[in-house]
Structure 1
Amino acid sequence: MARLILEDVCKSFHGEPVVKGLNLTIEAGEFVALLGPSGCGKSTILRMLAGFEPVTDGTISHGEHCLSSAKQHVATEDRNFGMVFQSYALWPHMSVKDNVGYPLKIQKIHSDERNKRIQEALEIVQLEDYADRLPAQLSGGQRQRVALARSLVTEPDVVLFDEPLANLDRHLRAKMEDTFRAFHKRTGATIVYVTHDQSEAMSLADRIAVLNKGELVQWGTPQALYATPKNTWLANFIGRGSVLRVSEIAPQQYVNSTDLHGLIERYSSEGAFSSVLVRPQDIHFVSVDGLSIPVTVDNCIFRGERYDIGLTLKDGQQVLTYSDVPMTTNSLHYIRLEQAWSLESES
């Protein structure tokens, strides 16, 4: 296997840029998610990787081989990439084994080899007992596993997923996440996974490319994106938290409790300011003391295992924290902010 390299990749439709100067290096065997809101360009990137769309500029390479550039385009069928679509795309009149084996039939693979590969692919997705059933006789999760098996049967170098769980309910999505995790561990395949669901990307991927308006916002591990987002947009997009305006401070650094409380106290809406991210788990209710901040409860929402508590500071800024017990709206409390992460300013 070889790494996938996207270098200064651009894509425009009718002169309108959709992907702008994208640079990514995806290591062999890595599970990578392309994450972002609708219209950010992530599905277009996947289609360029698959060969369904040529690049407008830049290059896409797999190891030493150029797949796409402004002057060259390798056809989809010559890339040895598998793809799993959101819609399953199964033939309704074909059995599970015939759907899985269809790409091999097109390639004119001998029946003995074809049957062997079909059996192996069905074992990976744990559907060997369903080989003779029709798609209509399967659940949504089982149909998605058939589509996964079909993508594997050609022994692809890379498997591309285009929002494969979007049509499933929450319970099935959780089960399919387990299936994808086990599949990746068992096969070691390189996976590029498109989703708009940040919790899905965070739970599955080794690294995530977060996109917005056709541009790469940040590229890193789920842990790094959660703990050290680049700017306010990403801080609000990844995980839950509160972005506060404080007195000016250098960006991209942790701020301890003492310094943070001082920055909040010195903040003025008329002066220069910075933005910091505070996660809910870093806000604690305390007794009044020199470091405590008075807050008023805006709302209290029961989430099953906890309560989400919305709070307002004396300057009107709002923060979110958690509590094991309910709190009364408009009641006065005191909190301490344990730490924050300073964000880059946005023009």
Structure 2
Amino acid sequence: MAALDVNGIRCSYNGKPVLDNLSLRVAENEIMCLLGASGCGKTTLLKAVAGLLPVTEGEIFIHGHRVNGDDVAVVPELRNIGMIFQDYALFPHMNVASNVAFGLQNKERDKALIRSRVEEALELVNLAELGDRYPHQLSGGQQQRVAIARALICRPRLMLLDEPFSNIDTQVRMRLIGEIRGLLKDQGISAIFVTHSKEEAFAFSDRLALFRAGHIEQVGRPQTLYQHPESRFVADFLGLANYVPATVLDSRTLMTAMGPIASQAAIQAEPGTPGQLLLRPRQIQLSLAEQGNGRVLEQQFLGAHTRCLVECQGLRLEVSINEPLPAVSQVSVGVAPHALTFFPDNRQGQRAVA
């Protein structure tokens, strides 16, 4: 049984369609990221799942139970969902323990049980010693942990996170992402995570759904979408991309200005088909060579890697290498062995075939 099944839903704002016939499945204990630019429908889907926005068509199932349609309208508080927002939404006049207890107090009258569950939730988010503090006495990362504890205290089976890390400093953010991911996995909680940051999506999700204008352009593992995008929109959204003019020689080879390039997987296009070969900066290899086919035009040391702009056979290529090269180097340009992604020319929407 899936944690969430969204089947052909439609949602509108003021009569304007935002989601149109959208479907998505989230497996048990899976973290699904909804990634896309502002206004593409990510938060609209989150609100529809939570019951905060009416669905005009289609059905939503949470752990096999239908929550809308055919005279069924399960209210948000009965959907067994936890929600975490961008702004934390903590009560400034309540201490940490009271903020965490708030959601459970509407469902449970046993004060001893509430105290026990508060202690358990604060322990899970590493705030066991801070129950008496107030929100203004906490860092941004600690405030977000309080919001997470408040969501966990009712023991939801599905968690909805709406850009929860966007107000946190970068160094703290990546550490917190790792902690919260581990916590959700340990507790067996499925989650849907909304962001417009591809770095957060890569670090946090098991699978990601890339949104574009109210529909899902591609869904799959982050590595798959990055390395094998099905369209140029996906390729460009997820990172720097080089497009090299190419022609199919056979099912395993493309001919380019750099020479023939072999693929580790079959290319689903007929010999003679023209198009564009996608190469990520890390898929291009450079080696110093006095008679090489390329020349380094520009370099930027970025800490973890060095960005190079290389000219090769009339092409300008963005390349990522570990260590800087001598200035204005002549280099041999090659391609790391991998399954090539090829976009045939004149194909509608520039869809990839390999």
When normalised by structure 2's length, the TM-score is: 0.86
Comparing 187-196 with 10-19, which one deviates more in the overlay?
10-19
Relative distance call for 1:315 and 1:148 in structure 2 (3 A) is same
Question: Counterpart in 1 of 2:269?
Answer: none
2:178 partner amino acid: D
Question: Counterpart in 1 of 2:110?
Answer: 110
Task: Report the Cα distance in structure 2 between the residues aligned to 1:104 and 1:8, rounded to whole angstroms.
Answer: 33
SS of structure 2 residue aligned to 1:129: coil
Q: C-alpha offsets along residues 178-225 of structure 1, whole Å, 9 cap, x if unaligned?
A: 221221232110111111111211112111111111111111112211
Question: Counterpart in 2 of 1:153?
Answer: 153
Relative distance call for 1:343 and 1:111 in structure 2 (3 A) is farther
Relative distance call for 1:293 and 1:161 in structure 2 (3 A) is farther
Relative distance call for 1:263 and 1:337 in structure 2 (3 A) is closer
Comparing 126-135 with 37-46, which one deviates more in the overlay?
37-46
Question: Counterpart in 2 of 1:303?
Answer: 302
Identical counterparts, % of pairs: 32
Relative distance call for 1:138 and 1:169 in structure 2 (3 A) is same
Deviation at 1:3, TM superposition (A): 2.2
Relative distance call for 1:11 and 1:217 in structure 2 (3 A) is same
Deviation at 1:332, TM superposition (A): 4.1
Comparing 137-146 with 293-302, which one deviates more in the overlay?
293-302
Deviation at 1:127, TM superposition (A): 0.5
Maintained 8 Å contact 1:40/1:211: yes
Maintained 8 Å contact 1:96/1:134: yes
Task: Report the Cα distance in structure 1 between the residues aligned to 2:12 and 2:125, rounded to whole angstroms.
Answer: 37
1:314 partner amino acid: Q
Deviation at 1:63, TM superposition (A): 3.0
Alignment of 1:261-276 (within 5 A): 261-262=259-260, 273-276=274-277
Residue ranges of structure 2 left out of the alignment (5+ in a row)? 263-271, 350-354
SS of structure 1 residue aligned to 2:67: strand
Deviation at 1:151, TM superposition (A): 0.3
Task: Report the Cα distance in structure 2 between the residues aligned to 1:166 and 1:173, rounded to whole angstroms.
Answer: 8
Residue ranges of structure 1 left out of the alignment (5+ in a row)? 265-270
Deviation at 1:107, TM superposition (A): 1.9
1:12 partner amino acid: S
Q: How many aligned residue pairs are there?
A: 336
SS of structure 2 residue aligned to 1:130: coil
Relative distance call for 1:249 and 1:71 in structure 2 (3 A) is farther
Maintained 8 Å contact 1:257/1:337: no
Deviation at 1:258, TM superposition (A): 9.1
Task: Report the Cα distance in structure 2 between the residues aligned to 1:76 and 1:125, rounded to whole angstroms.
Answer: 25
Question: Counterpart in 1 of 2:266?
Answer: none
Deviation at 1:316, TM superposition (A): 4.0
Question: Counterpart in 1 of 2:11?
Answer: 11
2:275 pairs with 1:277: no
Relative distance call for 1:2 and 1:218 in structure 2 (3 A) is closer
Question: Counterpart in 2 of 1:195?
Answer: 195
Relative distance call for 1:295 and 1:93 in structure 2 (3 A) is same
Question: Counterpart in 1 of 2:267?
Answer: none
Task: Report the Cα distance in structure 2 between the residues aligned to 1:343 and 1:195, rounded to whole angstroms.
Answer: 28
1:38 partner amino acid: S
Relative distance call for 1:272 and 1:170 in structure 2 (3 A) is same
2:283 partner amino acid: D
Relative distance call for 1:12 and 1:118 in structure 2 (3 A) is same
Task: Report the Cα distance in structure 2 between the residues aligned to 1:128 and 1:259, rounded to whole angstroms.
Answer: 62
Task: Report the Cα distance in structure 2 between the residues aligned to 1:135 and 1:28, rounded to whole angstroms.
Answer: 33
Question: Counterpart in 2 of 1:247?
Answer: 247
Question: Counterpart in 2 of 1:333?
Answer: 331
Q: How large is the RMSD of aligned CA atoms in angstroms?
A: 2.8
Alignment of 1:1-347 (within 5 A): 3-69=3-69, 72-247=72-247, 261-262=259-260, 273-286=274-287, 294-328=293-327, 332-339=330-337, 340-343=340-343, 345-347=347-349
Deviation at 1:288, TM superposition (A): 6.3
Relative distance call for 1:276 and 1:70 in structure 2 (3 A) is farther
Relative distance call for 1:2 and 1:333 in structure 2 (3 A) is closer
Comparing 174-183 with 112-121, which one deviates more in the overlay?
174-183
